[in-house]
Amino acid sequence: MQQQQKLIFEKSVSGRRCTQLPACDIENKTALPQDLLREEAPLLPEIAEVDLVRHYMALSRKAHGVDNGFYPLGSCTMKYNPRLNEEVAAMPGFTDIHPLQPTASVQGALKVMQLLQQYLAEITGMDAVTLQPAAGAQGEWTGLLLIKAYHEAHGEQNRTKILIPDSAHGTNPASAAMCGFQVVHVPCTEDGFVDVAALRSLAGPDTAGLMLTNPNTLGLFEKDSLEMADIIHKAGGLLYYDGANLNAIMGIARPGDLGFDVCHLNLHKTFSTPHGGGGPGSGPVGCKKALSPYLPNPIVEDENGQLTLNFDNPNSIGQVKAFYGNFLVYLKAFTYILSSGADGLKQASQGAVLNANYMLYQLKEIFHLNNTFPCMHEFVLSMEDLKEETGVSAMDVAKALLDYGIHPPTMYFPLIVPEALMVEPTETENKETLDFAIETFRKIKEEAFADSAKLHQYPLQTPVRRLDEVQAARKPILKYQKSENQ
């Protein structure tokens, strides 16, 4: 068993220092009134630089990123994060500019924004793009606000309902609720597609729009999406495209051509920017001309060759966050698009779909599943039969994968598939990696039949084993507390 990792506070020794600051070069010191000052110093560690480095090195060794190994986490597009992107985002010409500098002094940054907006509009088939949303969920919310503002401007305040398929990501209904919309669930058919007949009966004069992930969360292209667009538009609603799965169709098809009016992109998925252990992401929103007057402020504009930021758009929904979005993040996506180009982006999507199908083709056989083939960039395995026959659940399989150095697929999502494991290999994995993962699944399945009790024990090789999540939630300990005897 590995040694317990101490918290950084437990390594603190009074008087130790890491960073030294220059002495104060001002002679006549100012003192603030005593009642404005804090009485107690904050609980921060006092630690030497070498010990700080070793602490975070130890923590980093207990983390697993794409650079550590295969990460087929469904719907998260854990593709390789190119090193060039990191180098570009560390250039002082980008890191050291103030967001409120005169626009004449940041023409390079504004050019990045303008070009990226243009490229993303072309990739999605939209007319205008904002880069301000900080992540996918904020993009969804921004896009829905555009829909809300559009209907209000057209005197249709009664359009209060957003239709969302059962297979949607949890952020979809949560974003719709944040906008004050009522969420109407659209059922799926047995083979995982949106039930078009049900959709037709649900769409009406109170429909604000439909949110659709396409390819859907089962990794299947919604084959009736053109018909769905027609139904919603005829009812007077608008179509929202959740871009979480855009990695399947870059250069192959475009949401705009499929009839969608507004979409968000997850640059931290499709466009290779790293996830940083949970963020920062970047969730630009694209829309058709009819919705563009409502886009968040500010908008980059070209005034006779000089780029400016326009904060005065009378119909704008306003700002969705401070400044202009996660600039250094979307700068990485910009770099990725320049590197890949129109040809490379198409090859990326083809590769993503090829790899997913290669895995699906063999795993279908191993687990005796009747998934639709071909799939798009991801697919969902159901461990329902395995559980029935051996008692080994999707969770057990996932935890066993950990011991083989493979990050498990997304577990128990989408909710419509029992014992789901959602696999998204991405295009940046080579054949050997895919073969190793397929072989590992086969071994785990064989072990489930041979010794199912052992499967409930995994993982055994990781820094800690399965956690007691119930205790964590029942008696929350959310911060370190100095114990009495210290």
Partner 1 sequence: MTSYVPHTQEEKQEILASMHLNSMEELFCHIPEQVRLKELLQIPLGKSEMEVKTQINALAQKNKVFPTIFRGAGAYRHFIPAVVKQMASREEFVTAYTPYQAEISQGILQSIFEYQTMICSLTGMDAANASVYDGATAAAEAMNMCRSPKKKKVLIAATANPQVIATMQTYAYSFDMEIGLIPQKNGKTDLTALSQLLDDSISCVYIASPNYYGQIEDCGKIAQLIHAAGSIYIAGCNPISLGLLQTPAAMGADIAVGEGQPLGLPLGFGGPYLGFMACKSAMMRKLPGRIVGQTVDADGKTAYVLTLQAREQHIRREKAASNICSNQALCALTAGIYLAAMGPNGLKEVANLCLQKAHYAATEMQKISGFQLVYDGPFFHEFVTKCPIPVEKVMTALEEKNILGGLPLNGALDNCILWCFTECNSKEEIDTLIQILKEVT
- C-beta closer to partner 1: residue 181 or 390: 181
Task: Tell me the C-alpha distance between 263 and 333, whole Å.
Answer: 17
Q: Minimum Å distance from CB 179 to partner 1?
A: 5
Q: Which pair of structure tokens corresponds to residue 407?
A: 């990050």
Q: How far is the CB of 102 from partner 1 (least distance, A)?
A: 7
Would you say 99 or 205 has its CB closer to partner 1? 99
User: How far is residue 431's CA from residue 342's CA, in Å, rounded to a whole number?
Assistant: 24
CB of 167 to partner 1, least distance (A): 12
Query: Shortest Cβ distance from residue 157 to partner 1 (Å)?
Result: 11
How many whole angstroms separate alpha carbon 108 and alpha carbon 120?
18
261-288 burial by CB neighbour count: b if 16+ within 10 A, else e? bbbbbbbbbbbbbbbeeeeebbbbbbbb
Per DSSP (E only), the strands in 332-409 are 379-382
Nearer of residues 339 and 382 to partner 1, judged by Cβ: 339
Maximum alpha-carbon separation in the chain: 80
Question: At its nearest, how many Å lie between partner 1 and the CB of residue 285?
Answer: 13
Give the residue among 133, 65, 59, 48 at the shortest CA–CA distance from 330. Answer: 133
Distance CA 340, CA 30 (A): 56
Instruction: Compute the least distance from the CB of residue 396 to partner 1, in Å.
Output: 13
Residues 6 or more apart in contact with residue 251 via CB below 8 angstroms: 123, 342, 345, 346, 349
Q: How far is the CB of 323 from partner 1 (least distance, A)?
A: 3
Burial of 432 (0-12, 13-18, 19+ CB in 10 A): exposed
Given the complex with partner 1, which of 60 and 158 has the nearer CB atom?
Answer: 60
Residue of 365, 382, 377, 389 lying closest to 452 (CA atoms): 389
> Which CB, 201 or 461, lies closer to partner 1?
461
Q: Which is nearer to partner 1, 16 or 449 (CB)?
A: 16
Give start and end residues of each alpha helix (H) in 154-294.
171-178, 196-202, 225-234
* SS3 at position 35: helix
CB of 234 to partner 1, least distance (A): 18
Q: Which is nearer to partner 1, 84 or 450 (CB)?
A: 84
Rank residues 252 and 389 by Cβ distance to partner 1 and give the closer one: 252
How far, in Å, CA of 45 to CA of 410, rounded?
36
